[in-house]
Amino acid sequence: MSKNIFQIGNGDLTFEDIEHIINENLKLELSPAAKERIEKCRNYLDRKIEESTEPLYGITTGFGSLCTKNISLDELNTLQENLVKSHACSVGNEIPHVIVKLMFLLKAHALSLGHSGVQLITVQRIIDFFNNDVMPIVYDRGSLGASGDLAPLANLFLPLIGVGDVYYKGKRCEAISVLDEFGWEPIKLKSKEGLALLNGTQFMSANGVYALLKAMRLSKKADLIAAISLEAYDGLLAPFMDCIQQMRPHKGQIETGNNFRHLLEGSEIINRPKKHVQDPYSFRCIPQVHGATKDAIRHAASVLLTEINSVTDNPTIFPDEDLIISGGNFHGQPLALVYDYLAIAMAELGNISERRVAQLIMGLRGLPEFLVAEPGLNSGFMIPQYAA
């Protein structure tokens, strides 16, 4: 396998995988095992529809409150196409192309697990769009969360059936024209497929992955910036010693102490004798505050990692157990809670940073007021601190 290709379906996705795929612009392909799972599930579903005398939600019935409406076998394909068209009503601002690509990646991976009943060509076309940077136009409002990401996912997959607009080669154009350029026929959705494409948490998850990768980077930079501030403030290294962290052994706190001792190793300023016996909270409590944010990021990451490696559409198909179960794996609650937690944790990095900036511009410990020559004539960093 080429080093420029990432094979989907050989195991769980990791954040390292995703970052590598996006940053290095890797192409995707389905593993042989993934293809086998997809085809096995589709073949099972086709047989089940032929044999079943009971209604199957979203397969031989309408959707949502229309689940009591039975659909004839000759209209099953039309049902799925109508579903995509009727649900493609996300509104607001266009989402960035990186989020679109993440949605494609996460949906292709989820479908590769072989419990959604889609055709192999449908998953392949998602990968074709990803690999050729064909970017459907998706808007940032309209997902209920509780019912999965119906509206944004509908807009994402509308072009698969030749409808809607996309960006291609930097221009907005009709999806059908791009399909024609590549010689791709619009996908003829079979039973269950529209529901498999629209039901799920890939919009929530894509935004979460993007935010989490950024949070991880910001957390590392926060330690580096704070270490420079501690040095500039002629601060004490004692609060970062390992022995005090071990007395309250939260993982993030211990990690933060280690980071600061490493970053400030050999610093002449840190190691010189001090007149003061302790620093303000915004410096002294860095291990506790930055550490708690690290722990929050770690928790959010664990929840999100479980989510992106899960089957979140509905109903879920179990060929080996001869079961088709209508459940609620599309519900966004696990993500919603940790996203709020992550937002609070990241805000606290900004909060404590602003307090350190305030200490640095107050003319303390030999520093000039507002960190500028001739304060009064020059305002220096007065207003950046206000803005912070």
| Secondary structure percentages of the chain, helix, strand, coil, to 5 | 55, 10, 35
Contacts of 95 by beta carbon, 8 Å cutoff, 6+ apart: 138, 139, 140, 152
The parent domain of residue 250 ranges over: 210-311+332-387
Query: Is 296 found in the same domain as 174?
Result: no
Query: Is 121 found in the same domain as 265?
Result: no
Q: Is 339 part of the annotated catalytic residue set?
A: no
**Last residue of a domain, which of 164, 180, 200?**
200
CATH number at residue 232: 1.20.200.10
Is residue 247 a part of any domain in this protein?
A: yes
Is residue 321 a part of any domain in this protein?
A: no
Query: Is 265 found in the same domain as 371?
Result: yes
pLDDT value of position 53: 74
pLDDT value of position 323: 94
**Parallel/antiparallel/unpaired status of strands 27-30 and 5-8:** parallel
Query: Is 288 found in the same domain as 372?
Result: yes
Is residue 111 a part of any domain in this protein?
A: yes
Is residue 318 a part of any domain in this protein?
A: no
**Last residue of a domain, which of 200, 220, 250?**
200
**Last residue of a domain, which of 180, 200, 220?**
200
Query: Is 138 found in the same domain as 58?
Result: yes
Query: Is 264 found in the same domain as 129?
Result: no
pLDDT value of position 72: 77
Is residue 141 a part of any domain in this protein?
A: yes
Query: Is 190 found in the same domain as 112?
Result: yes
Total domains in the fold of the chain: 2
Q: pLDDT digit of tens for each residue in the chain (388 aa)?
A: 568 999 999 999 999 999 999 999 999 999 999 999 999 999 999 998 888 777 777 677 776 666 667 777 778 788 889 999 999 999 999 999 999 999 999 999 999 999 999 999 999 999 999 999 999 999 999 998 888 999 999 999 999 999 999 999 999 999 999 999 999 999 999 999 999 999 999 999 999 999 999 999 999 999 999 999 999 999 999 999 999 999 999 999 999 999 999 999 999 999 999 999 999 999 999 999 999 999 999 999 999 999 999 999 999 999 999 999 999 999 999 999 999 999 999 999 999 999 999 999 999 999 999 999 998 899 999 999 999 9
Is residue 357 a part of any domain in this protein?
A: yes
Question: How much is the pTM?
Answer: 0.93
Catalytic residue, from 44, 57, 167, 339: name it: 57
Query: Is 182 found in the same domain as 231?
Result: no
CATH number at residue 165: 1.10.275.10
* 101 half-sphere exposure, CB direction, 13 A CA radius: 20
Is residue 245 a part of any domain in this protein?
A: yes
Tokens 């944010």 belong to which residue? Answer: 293
Taking the C-alpha atoms of 44, 46, 50 and 52 in order, what is their torsion angle to the nearest 10 degrees? 50
Scanning 162-201, the segments in alpha helix (DSSP H) are: 175-182, 193-198
The partner residues of 337 in beta bridges, in order of sequence, read none
Query: Is 273 found in the same domain as 244?
Result: yes
pLDDT value of position 76: 79
**Token duo for residue 152:** 């944004």
Query: Is 107 found in the same domain as 43?
Result: yes
Count the Cβ atoms, other than its own, within 10 Å of residue 145: 16
